[in-house]
């Protein structure tokens, strides 16, 4: 498993990270995007050429304005106009470049987002149970945003700046000698060294700030997803204090990061202004001795000013790229997380004939040091119904998760129609199994969408037929927007029974050959439960069914009942046989019968809770 806060891990080698996202810039399967990149780079070259021409036009205009050259005023005006035109051309080429490249950047971000999203869905249930959704989404958001920014700066800032630096050095060497070239290179080297050194220091501050931001967002999302629990226990103030403490830690880290930026800007400005002062002093001295013209003074000033602009941005670019590497590192940590449950090489699609299910000496534990199932074996013939009962924590729901292959077992085998589920594709396996879970989680969309999720491309008539079978069609029609009614986050606008019936309708629409009912009627009232049980019994006759039940009255007609206790099958048989055996099942049956027959008036709060009595 990846660490909880991968952002704090050491930075990967820069070039290794670049190699990972360059394929998104130059995709092999998208020649149109490659052409856009090539056109954008041509526009970059044109813009830079125009930028380098502008100072010479400016110099020529100034030289024509010297005393005694008044008849050349027309030429000076023409050079000024050319200078203005070159400035406009530079802006034009830059914006055309942005327009051409925008599609490339967006497509790169989209492809990366798709890859991360697909990989997250491939990861095991264990990964998602161990990670906070808010933290994961924040990592993915930062990482995908950083790739577009890094592509833009690498292509349109760093590369043009290097070209311009080489051109300026050549111009200085030809017109002003090697001294000015050496001073320029020394200034650039000092600037880069200072920027890199201070930025490395700021990176640690950035890591701390990002870590605190992720923690605050994770706390907020976790709290809002569980707002009902917060209200049950009157913990609003406690949650506010938790969130406030996280935000205070983030604010302190952000202040340190922003203050360090001020020192970086001061140092960079000092280096560039010292270079400007020295270069201008040198050219003014040359002008005074007749070596240089007035236009040469302007030429040096203009060339250095144009070079300083991208250099000033270079500091920000370097910081952005390094910070982007931090964000992308966290995202690549997610991408590099190995898939715990993967299809075997050459896995074939599951071929379901009757849907016979068999567990053979299955051993499993969520933690290797704590085994949950100890050699569980049972068989459900095609079209048969097996009920699984037992105390809480006995491993009943674990069997359903193993059948779906959310986890791989430690030993033994699970087969459907004689095919080991470890050797077939997960997609075909899960397509053959339907489940009505105990915890019904719905998408924050319409009721119609949630029911239709059971079968892609389902028609409205099929959706309504499934809703009728689940006894929820009339309820939906009574809503103001009918099937277009939104159910809210995790379906919280519906009651537990309504959510459960939506889940049943969704599974009925899927129409799988193997059906798992995991406490499928636990949230229903007695009348609705009786109606739903009739429906479930009807559909169970057509398919292999595993029923995980707490209320034993719902599984008395099962073909076989197995009783789990601490991960082992302690009893098995039909309902009547198990009751006569006077074992754990009979004890559970008697207890539930007594609870069912007890008059409501006799139920007191004191009987529902164990209350410690003070010693006499």
- Give me the CATH number covering residue 112: 1.20.1560.10
Q: How many CB atoms lie within 10 A of CB 246?
A: 19
pLDDT at 80 exceeding the cut of 60: yes
267 and 144 in a single domain? The answer is yes
pLDDT at 360: 95
353 and 285 belong to one structural domain: no
pLDDT of residue 209: 80
pLDDT at residue number 616:
40
Higher pLDDT, 328 or 420: 420
Q: Which residue has the higher pLDDT, 203 or 466?
A: 466
* 370: phi then psi, degrees, rounded to nearest 5: -135, 95
Whether the CA torsion 420, 423, 426, 432 is positive or negative: it is: negative
The alpha carbon torsion through 176, 180, 184, 190 (nearest 10 deg) reads 180
Under the banding of pLDDT at 50, 70 and 90, the label for residue 369 is confident
Is the per-residue pLDDT at 600 higher than 70?
no
535 located within any domain: no
Same domain, 292 and 411: no
- The confidence band for 578, taking pLDDT boundaries of 50, 70 and 90, is very high
Least confident of 8-22, 116-130, 153-167, 306-320: 8-22
Answer yes or no: do 256 and 368 share one domain. Answer: no
Q: Is 591 left (phi over 0), alpha (psi -120 to 50) or beta?
A: alpha
What is the extent of the structural domain holding 97? Answer: 6-336
507 pLDDT more than 50? yes
Verify that 277 and 309 share a domain, yes or no. Answer: yes
Give the pLDDT confidence score for residue 265 in this predicted structure. 81
**Stated pTM of the model:** 0.61
- Whichever domain contains 550, its CATH number is 3.40.50.300
Residue 307 pLDDT level (bands cut at 50, 70, 90):
confident
Residues 322 and 394 in one domain: no
* pLDDT at site 13: 53
pLDDT of residue 57: 67
How many separate domains does the chain show? 2
Q: According to the model, what pLDDT value does residue 373 have?
A: 92
For 354, the token pair is 């009757």
What pLDDT was estimated at residue 612? 41
pLDDT value at residue 388:
93
Going by pLDDT thresholds of 50, 70 and 90, the confidence category of residue 18 is: low
Average pLDDT score over residue span 481-496? 80
* CA atoms of 203 and 198, how far apart (whole Å): 9
Of 105-119, 277-291, 409-423, 453-467, the one with minimum mean pLDDT is 105-119
Q: Which residues of 302-322 are buried (b: 16+ CB within 10 A; e: fewer)?
A: bbbebbbebbeebbbbbbbbb
Query: Quick one: 93 and 230 in the same domain?
Result: yes
d(CA 516, CA 421): 16
27 found inside a domain: yes
Same domain, 351 and 328: no
Q: Which two tokens stand for residue 149?
A: 């920014």
Q: Are residues 283 and 153 in the same domain?
A: yes
Is the pLDDT reported for residue 79 higher than 80? Answer: no
In this prediction, residue 17 carries a pLDDT of 66
Domain closes at, from 283, 312, 336: 336
Looking at residue 607, what is its pLDDT?
Answer: 44
Do 148 and 58 share a structural domain? yes
Mean pLDDT across 220-229: 79
Residue 529 has pLDDT above 80, yes or no: no
226 part of a folded domain: yes
Judge whether 160 lies within some domain: yes
Judge whether 1 lies within some domain. Answer: no
- Does residue 398 lie in a domain region? yes
- Name the percent of the chain lying above pLDDT 90: 16
- The pLDDT of 92-115, averaged and rounded, is 76
Distance of CA 217 to the CA centre of its chain: 14
């Amino acid at each position: 498993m990846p660490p909880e806060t991968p952002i704090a891990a050491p930075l990967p080698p820069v070039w290794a990270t670049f190699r990972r996202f360059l394929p998104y810039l130059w995709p092999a399967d998208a020649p149109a995007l490659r052409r856009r990149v090539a056109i954008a780079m041509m526009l970059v070259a044109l813009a830079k050429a125009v930028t380098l021409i502008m100072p010479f036009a400016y110099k020529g205009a100034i030289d024509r304005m010297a005393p005694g050259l008044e008849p050349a005023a027309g030429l000076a005006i023409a050079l000024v106009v050319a200078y203005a035109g070159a400035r406009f051309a530079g802006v034009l080429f830059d914006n055309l470049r942005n327009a051409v490249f925008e599609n490339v950047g967006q497509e790169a971000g989209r492809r990366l987002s798709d890859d991360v999203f697909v990989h997250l869905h491939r990861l095991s249930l264990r990964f998602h149970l161990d990670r906070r959704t808010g933290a994961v989404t924040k990592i993915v958001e930062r990482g995908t945003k950083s790739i577009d920014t890094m592509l833009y700066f690498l292509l349109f800032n760093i590369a043009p700046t290097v070209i311009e630096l080489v051109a300026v050095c050549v111009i200085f060497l030809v017109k002003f000698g090697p001294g000015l070239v050496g001073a320029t290179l020394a200034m650039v080297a000092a600037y880069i060294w200072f920027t890199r050194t201070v930025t490395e220091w700021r990176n640690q501050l950035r890591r701390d700030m990002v870590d605190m931001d992720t923690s605050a967002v994770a706390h907020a999302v976790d709290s809002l997803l569980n707002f009902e629990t917060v209200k049950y226990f009157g913990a609003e103030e406690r949650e506010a204090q938790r969130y406030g403490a996280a935000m205070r830690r983030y604010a302190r880290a952000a202040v340190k990061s922003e203050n360090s930026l001020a020192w970086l800007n001061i140092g960079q400005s000092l280096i560039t202004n010292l270079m400007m002062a020295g270069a201008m002093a040198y050219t003014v001295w040359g002008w005074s001795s007749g070596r240089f013209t007035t236009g040469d003074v302007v030429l040096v000033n203009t060339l250095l000013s144009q070079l300083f602009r991208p250099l000033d941005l270079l500091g920000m670019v370097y910081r952005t790229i390094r910070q982007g590497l931090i964000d992308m590192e966290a995202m690549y940590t997610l991408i590099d997380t190995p898939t715990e449950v993967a299809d075997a090489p050459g896995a074939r699609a599951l071929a379901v004939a009757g849907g016979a299910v068999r567990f053979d000496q299955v051993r499993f534990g969520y933690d290797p040091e704590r085994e949950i199932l100890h050699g569980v074996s049972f068989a459900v013939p095609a079209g048969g119904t097996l009920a699984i009962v037992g105390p809480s924590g006995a491993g009943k729901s674990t069997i359903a998760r193993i059948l779906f292959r959310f986890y791989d077992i430690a030993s033994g085998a699970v087969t459907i129609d004689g095919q080991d589920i470890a050797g077939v594709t997960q997609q075909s396996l899960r397509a053959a199994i339907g489940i009505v879970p105990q915890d019904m989680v719905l998408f924050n969309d319409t009721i119609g969408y949630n029911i239709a999720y059971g079968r892609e491309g389902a028609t409205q008539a099929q959706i309504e037929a499934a809703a009728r079978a689940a006894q929820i069609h009339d309820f939906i029609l009574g809503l103001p927007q009918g099937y277009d009614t939104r159910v809210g986050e995790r379906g919280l606008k519906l009651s537990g029974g309504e959510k459960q019936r939506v889940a049943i309708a969704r599974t009925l629409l899927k129409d799988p050959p193997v059906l798992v009912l995991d406490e499928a009627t636990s949230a229903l009232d007695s009348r609705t439960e009786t109606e739903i049980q009739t429906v479930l019994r009807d559909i169970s006759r057509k398919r292999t069914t595993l029923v995980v039940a707490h209320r034993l009255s719902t599984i008395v007609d099962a073909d076989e009942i197995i009783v789990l206790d601490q991960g082992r099958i302690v009893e098995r048989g039909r309902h009547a046989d198990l009751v006569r055996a006077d074992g754990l099942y009979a004890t559970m049956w008697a207890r539930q019968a007594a609870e069912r027959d007890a008059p409501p008036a006799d139920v007191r709060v004191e009987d529902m809770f164990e209350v410690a009595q003070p010693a006499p």
